Amino acid sequence: MHSPEIDRLIQYLGRLPGLGPRSARRAALHLLKRRDSLLGPLADALAEAAEAVRTCSVCGNLDTRDPCSVCADPGRDAAVLCVVEEVGDLWALERTGSFKGRYHVLGGTLSALEGVGPEDLNIAGLLNRARRPEVTEVILALNATVEGQTTAHYVTDRLAECDVTVSRLAHGVPVGGELGYLDDGTLTAALKARRPF
């Protein structure tokens, strides 16, 4: 019923996370009604990103430069590597503005079910970086999921050969969180790790 151009637009929009077939149609309509203010600029922004954005060969971040702006920043502490699963986690940590070291993106987690082994993740690259004399600490900022923690244990074992301290993010009550809604595991962890007031 639609022209093939509109159909194709709806189809590709529907492959974005968070947009189903219905919301993809709504998004397409929204775009078509705003040709100059949104449709054109979004097309340009996508084309530009497709052209310019690449994966950092050092840490795996996405940026228009390689090494990325974090790796290339001489003001960042080269002694601390923060290991994350995905670029989105790196972005989340950068938004806090509270980490001044460098990152290392693994590119996922180990998963026997999905057939992801150590060689599928950027673990060799991490070991190479961790062996450098200037690196003294590796922070494992992996998701607090079964897969994330399995991967953290594996990476810790592999890092034993390097002369670095390995740490992980603290578990506890999320800031603003209500105890009644928290799971038992989080509450137990928060109790165990209690701090003087």
Which residue's CB is nearer to a copy of itself, number 1 or number 160? 1
Distances in whole angstroms, Cα of residue 143 to Cα of each of 77, 96, 148, 178: 23, 17, 5, 21
- Closest contact distance (angstroms) between CB of 127 and a copy of itself is 24
Which residue's CB is nearer to a copy of itself, number 12 or number 153? 12
- Rounded CA-CA distance 72/51 in Å is 21
Q: Which residues bind a copy of itself (CB under 8 A)?
A: 1-3, 5-6, 8-9, 11-13, 15-19, 23, 25-33, 35, 38-43, 45-50, 52-53, 62-65, 69, 86-88, 91, 94-95
Tokens 């105890």 found at: 179
- Interaxial angle between packed helices 21-32 and 4-13, expressed in degrees from 0 to 180 and rounded to the nearest 10: 120
Helix or strand holding residue 87 (H, E): helix 87-96
Contacts of 109 (CB under 8 A, 6+ apart): 85, 116, 121, 142, 143, 145, 147, 148, 150, 151
- Closest contact distance (angstroms) between CB of 177 and a copy of itself is 18
- Closest contact distance (angstroms) between CB of 61 and a copy of itself is 10
- Closest contact distance (angstroms) between CB of 25 and a copy of itself is 7
Which residue's CB is nearer to a copy of itself, number 25 or number 158? 25
Which residue's CB is nearer to a copy of itself, number 37 or number 128? 37
